[in-house]
Chain A
């Protein structure tokens, strides 16, 4: 079955770090870019960033609100992508989704609070 599964969310204090994972099942995820999108409570979708496939350089792009604090990496041997979040702010609270092409995960919830 083709699916993406996010994990790693939880409650974290402002200023701390967290790493989210996005595991792909049922297809060769290494051939594709992986995108992260978040949604604050009651708000719309916000693009966080994406990482290109290794065949296209494996480089990443980030949205302005997270640039210099977040980074994306991938381990294609494990079919997993990561979102490394540092210096977390209260406004980073939300559900974080990963997606590849038209496949989306179920999301993982991140709450930044003291």
Chain B
């Protein structure tokens, strides 16, 4: 099973700042089968990025994904008030899908 570790666990930033969230896998994720999700309290997860760098439908271009192999990054270029939420990475490379434990993005 591929274990995903997200860091930092909590990120405190102000609106307008740049956020960089990291996700590290214990094994190489082939074909960059990494996705990123945003979840707000009481809501279902929302797919942001798939294939490590492709934005899902309707996702603003301030969200971008990058990385390959075992190290992946979600960047939010300029934080908007609605971006403060939990973020999860997910690998779907193998038949056993796994999620990271999440990064909480808080307003500073």
**Which A residues have a C-beta under 8 Å from some C-beta of B?**
35, 37, 44-47, 50, 61, 63-64, 97, 99, 102, 104-107
Q: Which residues of B contact A105 (CB under 8 A)?
A: 44
**Which B residues have a C-beta under 8 Å from some C-beta of A?**
1, 37, 39, 44-47, 50, 56-57, 86, 88, 90, 95-102
Q: A64-B1, A102-B56, A102-B57 are in contact. Are A46 and B99 (CB under 8 A)?
A: yes
B44 touches A107 (CB 8 A): yes
Tell me the bound Cα distance from A62 to B36 in angstroms. Answer: 21
A44 touches B99 (CB 8 A): yes
B101 touches A47 (CB 8 A): no
Q: Smallest distance from the beta carbon of B3 to chain A beta carbons, Å?
A: 12
A61 touches B96 (CB 8 A): yes
Q: Which of A35, A50, A63, A104 contacts B44 (CB 8 A)?
A: A104
B37 touches A106 (CB 8 A): no
B37 touches A45 (CB 8 A): yes
Q: Which residues of A contact B102 (CB under 8 A)?
A: 44-45
Q: A61-B95, A63-B96, A102-B56 are in contact. Are A45 and B88 (CB under 8 A)?
A: yes
B97 touches A45 (CB 8 A): no
B96 touches A97 (CB 8 A): no
B44 touches A45 (CB 8 A): no
A44 touches B96 (CB 8 A): no
A47 touches B99 (CB 8 A): yes
Tell me the bound Cα distance from A44 to B37 in angstroms. Answer: 11
Q: A97-B44, A104-B44 are in contact. Are A47 and B97 (CB under 8 A)?
A: yes
The interface centre, meaning the residue of A64, A97, A102, A104 with most chain B CB atoms within 10 A of its CB, is: A102
Q: Which of B39, B46, B47, B98 contacts A47 (CB 8 A)?
A: B98
A97 touches B99 (CB 8 A): no
Q: Which residues of B contact A35 (CB under 8 A)?
A: 97
Q: A45-B37, A50-B97, A63-B96 are in contact. Are A97 and B45 (CB under 8 A)?
A: yes
22 contacts between A and B (CB under 8 A): A37-B45, A37-B99, A44-B86, A44-B88, A44-B100, A44-B101, A45-B37, A45-B39, A45-B45, A45-B99, A45-B102, A47-B98, A47-B99, A61-B96, A63-B96, A64-B1, A97-B45, A99-B45, A104-B45, A104-B47, A105-B44, A107-B44
